[in-house]
C-alpha cells in the first residue's frame, strides 16, 4: 500500500521584516530614504580581515547607530546587494543589514546587531551554489553552505532578535555573519579558485564601481537618500 500523500501547506509570501510578516512593504526599506551612500571596502583592507568589535550597549537606541544602519541600507541598494556588513562601509562594528529573498520567493528585510550563528547540526544539508561579495566586486564562485541558518542578536534599540532562513536567505545570513568575524567567502575557497576569483575581480572591478555610481545617482534622482 502506498503512503498517503499530504498536500503541502501554502507558503506565506508576505515580506518578513525583522523576522515578522507584514502585509505591505515598499520596494526599498524606509531606512534607505534617510541614508547616504558610502564607499564599500575591498578585500585586502584590514577592517575586513579581523573580527570586529561588538556594538556596545551604550549605542543601542542612539542616533549614531540608526544613521549607520540607514547608510548601510542605501549603500547596499546602490551596489545591487542583498546584504551588507558594518566593516564593508569601514566601520569596526559587528552588525549587518539585509534585503534578501529565500528560495520560496519570500522577501526578508532587516538588520542584526552583534549576530551569533546557531551551531550547525551534524549531517545538516548543504547546498553548493554561486556566491559573490560586494567587497570582492564582480566575480562569483561555487561554495557549499548550510541549507538552513539561524542567527540571534539584537536590533538597533537593543531588543533581542532571532532570524532564520533557508536556501538563498540562509546563505545570506551565513555570509554576512562571517563578515562580522573577519571572514570573506573567498577565505573558504581552495587556493586555485580563490586566485581565479581575485584575478577576475581585478578585471571586473572598474565596471562594477561605475555601475554602483550610476545606481547611486538614479536613487538620488528618485528622491531616495541624501547627499551628505
Which amino acids are annotated catalytic?
176
Q: What CA–CA distance (Å, rounded) separates 139 from 130?
A: 10
Q: Which residue stretches of the chain are H helix?
A: 30-34, 63-78, 167-180, 191-221
Polymer length of the chain: 228
Report angle CA 9, 101, 143 to the nearest 5 degrees: 110
Strand partners, 132: none
Cα 12 to chain centroid, rounded: 22
Cα 114–116–118 angle (5° rounding)?
165
Q: Residue 37 in contact with residue 78, Cβ under 8 Å? A: yes
CA distance 6 to 225: 48
Helix then strand count (H, E) for the chain reads: 4, 9
CB 153 within 8 A of CB 139: no
Amino acid at each position: 500500500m502506498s503512503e498517503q500523500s499530504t498536500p503541502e501547506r501554502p507558503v506565506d509570501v508576505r515580506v518578513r521584516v525583522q523576522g515578522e510578516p507584514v502585509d505591505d512593504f515598499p520596494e526599498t526599506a524606509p531606512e534607505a530614504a534617510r541614508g547616504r551612500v558610502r564607499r564599500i571596502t575591498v578585500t585586502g583592507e584590514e577592517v575586513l580581515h579581523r573580527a570586529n568589535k561588538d556594538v556596545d550597549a551604550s549605542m543601542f537606541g542612539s542616533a549614531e547607530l540608526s544613521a549607520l544602519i540607514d547608510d548601510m541600507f542605501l549603500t547596499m541598494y546602490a551596489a545591487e546587494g542583498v546584504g551588507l556588513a558594518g566593516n564593508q562601509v569601514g566601520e569596526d562594528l559587528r552588525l549587518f543589514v539585509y534585503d534578501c529573498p529565500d528560495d520560496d520567493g519570500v522577501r526578508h528585510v532587516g538588520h542584526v546587531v552583534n549576530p551569533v550563528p546557531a551551531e550547525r547540526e551534524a549531517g545538516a544539508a548543504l547546498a553548493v551554489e554561486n556566491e559573490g561579495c560586494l567587497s570582492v566586486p564582480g566575480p562569483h564562485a561555487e561554495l557549499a553552505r548550510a541549507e538552513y541558518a539561524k542567527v540571534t542578536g539584537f536590533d538597533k534599540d537593543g531588543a533581542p532578535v532571532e532570524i532564520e532562513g533557508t536556501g538563498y536567505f540562509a546563505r545570506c545570513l551565513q555570509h554576512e555573519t562571517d563578515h562580522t568575524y573577519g571572514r570573506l567567502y573567498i577565505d573558504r575557497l581552495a587556493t586555485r579558485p580563490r586566485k581565479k576569483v581575485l584575478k577576475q575581480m581585478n578585471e571586473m572591478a572598474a565596471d562594477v564601481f561605475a555601475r554602483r555610481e550610476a545606481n547611486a545617482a538614479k536613487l538620488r534622482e528618485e528622491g531616495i537618500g541624501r547627499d551628505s
